[in-house]
């Protein structure tokens, strides 16, 4: 799962990025002005966007309006200043999905991001149940045949993403887009390494490979 932070206060942006990646296990991109934010949001596949409103070059509400009018459905959590309650209303009216007032607790931001992403994948249960596994993104654990597994970060990211899209065939390019930060080097063979490790842990049948198309987890497509 990958999140874009659009925030011009660099320290805050870095703190949010750190919490989202280290505690939340999200891939994270940062944009520190509105122009870059809009460009990144238009050209990358994000699972959620954390959007400040007061930004240099292009303000947050303009970004939101542009994305929604262009048909982007990515959930957007707006960050607003305490002294401007009108921004909350304006943001929601322009298509934001949630908001937080600064200053906020990092734990609350994380929980809200997870909740937005679950909703956008139509998975109201915080624990993903697929292929005999119970995958808990909050604790980064997997229950399998009565045992609890704690997975390495990237392996968990892959499993979580495939589980969110259970029953679908997900291409390697798509997986790479959602697992890695903007700056990360992308080697498509790493996906095969993670897949093979997940199969060793949870059984060879867990993830199906569809030649030339990608990977799939969960119920077979009819
Ligand atoms: Ca700002």
Residues lining ion ligand 1 (Cβ < 5 A) are 8, 52, 54
User: Once rounded to an integer, what is the mean pLDDT over residues 156-161?
Assistant: 96
Model pTM? 0.94
User: Once rounded to an integer, what is the mean pLDDT over residues 6-25?
Assistant: 97
Q: How far apart are CA 104 and CA 101, in angstroms?
A: 6
How far is the centre of ligand 1, averaged over its atoms, from the C-alpha of 81 (Å)? 9
Other Cβ atoms within 10 Å of 18 Cβ, number: 13
User: Once rounded to an integer, what is the mean pLDDT over residues 116-144?
Assistant: 95
How far is the centre of ligand 1, averaged over its atoms, from the C-alpha of 202 (Å)? 45
pLDDT of residue 190: 87
Q: What is the pLDDT of residues 161-216, one digit of tens each?
A: 999 999 999 999 899 999 988 665 666 688 999 999 999 999 999 999 999 899 99
Q: How far apart are CA 210 and CA 50, in angstroms?
A: 34
Other Cβ atoms within 10 Å of 168 Cβ, number: 14
How far is the centre of ligand 1, averaged over its atoms, from the C-alpha of 56 (Å)? 8
How far from chain centre, in Å, is Cα 12? 19
Q: Which one, of 61, 58, 122, 59, lies nearest residue 87 by Cα?
A: 61
In the chain the domains, ranked by start, together with CATH numbers, are 2-120 (3.40.50.2300), 128-217 (1.10.10.10)
Phi and psi at residue 30, in whole multiples of 5°? -120, 135
Q: Which one, of 60, 64, 108, 105, lies nearest residue 80 by Cα?
A: 60
Contacts of 2 (CB under 8 A, 6+ apart): 26, 27, 28, 29, 44, 45, 46, 47, 177, 178, 179, 180, 181
How far is the centre of ligand 1, averaged over its atoms, from the C-alpha of 62 (Å)? 14
- pLDDT above 80: residue 152: yes
How far is the centre of ligand 1, averaged over its atoms, from the C-alpha of 208 (Å)? 45
């Amino acid at each position: 799962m990958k999140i874009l932070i659009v925030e011009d206060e660099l320290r805050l942006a870095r703190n949010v990025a750190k919490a989202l990646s280290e505690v939340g296990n999200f891939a994270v991109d940062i944009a520190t002005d509105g122009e870059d934010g809009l460009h990144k949001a238009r050209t990358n596949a994000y699972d959620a966007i954390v959007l400040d409103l007061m930004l240099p070059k292009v303000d947050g509400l303009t970004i939101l309006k542009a994305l929604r009018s262009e048909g982007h459905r990515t959930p957007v959590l707006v960050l607003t200043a305490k002294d401007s309650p009108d921004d909350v209303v304006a943001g929601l009216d322009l298509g934001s999905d949630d908001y937080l007032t600064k200053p906020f607790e990092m734990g609350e931001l994380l929980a809200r991001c997870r909740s937005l992403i679950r909703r956008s994948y139509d998975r109201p249960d915080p624990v993903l149940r697929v292929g005999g596994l119970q995958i808990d993104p909050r604790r980064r654990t997997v229950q399998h045949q009565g045992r609890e597994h704690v997975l390495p970060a990237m392996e968990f990211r892959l499993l979580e993403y495939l589980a969110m899209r259970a029953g679908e065939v997900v291409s390697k390019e798509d997986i790479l887009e959602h697992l890695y930060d903007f700056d990360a080097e992308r080697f498509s063979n790493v996906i095969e390494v993670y897949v093979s490790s997940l199969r060793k842990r949870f059984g060879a049948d867990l993830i199906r490979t569809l030649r030339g198309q990608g990977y799939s987890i969960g119920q077979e497509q009819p």
